[in-house]
Structure 1
Amino acid sequence: MSEAEAEGPSPGREIWIEKYRPQTLDDVFGHEDIVSRLESYIEQSDLPHLLFAGPAGVGKTTCATAIAREVYGDDWRGNFLELNASDERGIDVVRDRIKNFARSSFGGYDYRIIFLDEADSLTSDAQSALRRTMEQFSDNTRFVLSCNYSSKIIDPIQSRCAVFRFSPLSDEAVAAQTREIAESEGISLTEEGLDALVYAADGDMRRAINSLQAAATTGEVVDAEAVYTITSTARPEEIESMVAAAVDGDFAQARSKLDRLLTETGMAGGDIIDQLHRSVWDFDLDERAAASLLERIGEADYRITEGANEKVQLEALLASVALDG
């Protein structure tokens, strides 16, 4: 055994999201229905153009590469072109790189796969060019498009694709893979730490795995405190106590708790808004009060997105709740 092996696992040595990226569709967590449909396409050798839509970190890119591995085996890299549309958004990319790859000769396979990640970043002209390219090379090329918002993809492209909508992963799926990775890496992960990872991830497997790796570098045990510190996430009870103080009409106390989140925890205003939105129905509020709070959260979120001062907007939100309380 080498000296490095004798020392045990080194959490920072390799990026775990790549180390533990599923290699086959069977290894993908949390999307059984999607995986089943994709496997049926592969088994029947009848792969259409595909459009994967959904939030970040839920398995869209993983499924695309897993398809290529299953179709081409060890030859998958030579028959799979991956482009990131957010970096290469122009019409020239569609006309040049995609066409050159689609035209190039290859042996033994009926088609090659072009994976266009973040396709909703393509300009309208580029999407129109892509539509024509999809028609022109449909005999020997299959396109897999990935996007966060399918509404930003023009209808002519959507109509040429089988659309798969990836939802945020369930807490159970995130917990299962996170626990599996912790065991594989020899990391001592407490149940409270696992719950914190799942809460901070909010359905994003990539965030959960990255947070686990970051927390594992801070000590021998990954507990809730380490996770919340690493991810700059407030504990659910901290958000709840802040809102409870406002509902009780104690604006000074609510404002003090907000200041702590912004300064000591280092949270951004947008993150506090997100956690408030996620936790509204966990607060001890009647339906009307919860609806009113959601309305104010929406207003504050819009204003912050438009460039308003985060602290001012969040204090105004709490003040409004306190006045009604």
Structure 2
Amino acid sequence: MSDVEDMDIDSVDAPAAVTFSSDLKGKKMSKANLPVSAGDTLPWVEKYRPDTLSDVSGHEDILQTINRFVSSNRLPHLLFYGPPGTGKTSTILALARHIYGAKNVRQQVLELNASDDRGIDVVREQIKTFASTRQIFGGVAGKNDGLGNFKLIILDEADAMTSAAQNALRRIMEKYTANTRFCIIANYTHKLSAALLSRCTRFRFSPLPVEALRRRVDVVIEHEGVKITPGAVDALLKLSRGDMRRSLNVLQACFASSTPLDDAGRPDTTKEREEITESAIYDCIAAPHPEDILMIMETLLKSDITTSLRAINEIKTRKGLALADILAALSEELCRIEVPKQTRVLWMEGLAEIEWRVGSGGGEMVQTGGLAGVVRKGVAVMGNTA
């Protein structure tokens, strides 16, 4: 007797009188697809999470491939990997709503995150129990499109699973393929076993391009009535570095800080909100302002090492900047100026070494001196080759 014939049977009747947030106009569904009554108290990351695949910004090539899988009703096991905030979870949740409909998602989809216990016991009990049951009828209740003849298990942050749990999971993926599809989401594939990787169709979600970020941010700005300058929007998109979650969180933080308060420290709705400026964006992220970086670069290029070191330490203390942020911004500015190739190689190699030392726990005072020394050494080489 086959494994499919041995499976238990699930009922397909959906709970009655349940209202989902996606059914309410103007409301957004939370990540867990649970009924939402919080309204505007939701973080914007959840409030404006895409409801459909067409709402997902960027990665059009991945969306086209997934749509072809769905239209032919041949969805394989999926592996989404890439940096945080690039749309991996939003894409699979939008796909689940497309396949099953909003009212059937809770019944047909099992979502486990890294915050859940994901040891071998969970794989053997919770995941296996969900995967081993099948519908009594094909398809999804209330939908006659032929889709959804399988359940969907989403394992978010799967690179946090133990090796034993991954080994147990690969057998379950093989045994219940006729009934269940898996979507594994991870930031780093090298933490996943080769057996899992070989069983999935892989899609890499790269950092989102600026235009994709801008489309979604503009929608949020319009719906929330955010007063923000064009320069501030450009700075927000640049500092987000392709991370949609980061851009929306920073925008919401700046929007909250622009709210005028009364004498009791409560929001004063009678006054207009302040306009969000480029300076407010940099202050919120605690990133160095472009003028500060230009000042540091000019000092390093034209002054002696003692004066340069004093100027860098003064700006760091006054603005509360971290050396790692200064290194990242300074390297971009140094790459823009025309210098001999020997100087450029010396700068990039030296800055990379200092960044590694800072990340490994090196003292900021000593590494700041190293930064000044590297740039001044490159200037000396440039003078010798002139």
Aligned to 1:64: 92
Change (3 A) 1:93 1:318: farther
Residues 86 and 121 in structure 1, CA contact (< 8 A), matched pair in contact too: no
- Structure 1 residue 261: Cα displacement: 5.3
Residue 185 of structure 2 corresponds to residue 146 of structure 1? yes
- Structure 1 residue 228: Cα displacement: 0.8
Residue 220 of structure 2 corresponds to residue 191 of structure 1? no
Match of 1:222 among 254, 264, 276: 276
Unaligned runs of 5+ in 2: 1-38, 140-147, 259-273, 380-386
Unaligned runs of 5+ in 1: 1-10
Change (3 A) 1:83 1:288: farther
- Structure 1 residue 55: Cα displacement: 0.5
Residue 119 of structure 2 corresponds to residue 119 of structure 1? no
Match of 1:266 among 311, 320, 343: 320
Aligned to 1:160: 199
Over the aligned positions, Cα root-mean-square deviation in angstroms equals 2.3
Change (3 A) 1:12 1:35: same
- Structure 1 residue 64: Cα displacement: 1.1
Residue 142 of structure 2 corresponds to residue 103 of structure 1? no
Number of residue equivalences: 315
Amino acid at match of 1:84: N
SS at match of 1:47: coil
Identity %: 39
Amino acid at match of 1:77: R
- Structure 1 residue 114: Cα displacement: 1.1
Aligned to 2:264: none
- Structure 1 residue 20: Cα displacement: 0.8
SS at match of 2:257: coil
Residues in 1 aligned to 2:241 and 2:275: alpha-carbon distance in whole angstroms: 22
Match of 2:216 among 160, 165, 177: 177
Residues in 2 aligned to 1:172 and 1:133: alpha-carbon distance in whole angstroms: 41
Higher-Rg member (1/2)? 2
TM-score by length of 1: 0.88
Residue 68 of structure 2 corresponds to residue 14 of structure 1? no
Residues 86 and 119 in structure 1, CA contact (< 8 A), matched pair in contact too: no
Aligned to 2:101: 73
- Structure 1 residue 19: Cα displacement: 0.8
Residues in 1 aligned to 2:375 and 2:252: alpha-carbon distance in whole angstroms: 38
Higher relative contact order (CA 8 A, sep 6+): 1
Greater helix content: 1
Residues in 2 aligned to 1:261 and 1:82: alpha-carbon distance in whole angstroms: 47
Amino acid at match of 1:76: V
Residues in 2 aligned to 1:276 and 1:283: alpha-carbon distance in whole angstroms: 11
Residues 242 and 253 in structure 1, CA contact (< 8 A), matched pair in contact too: no
- Structure 1 residue 288: Cα displacement: 3.3
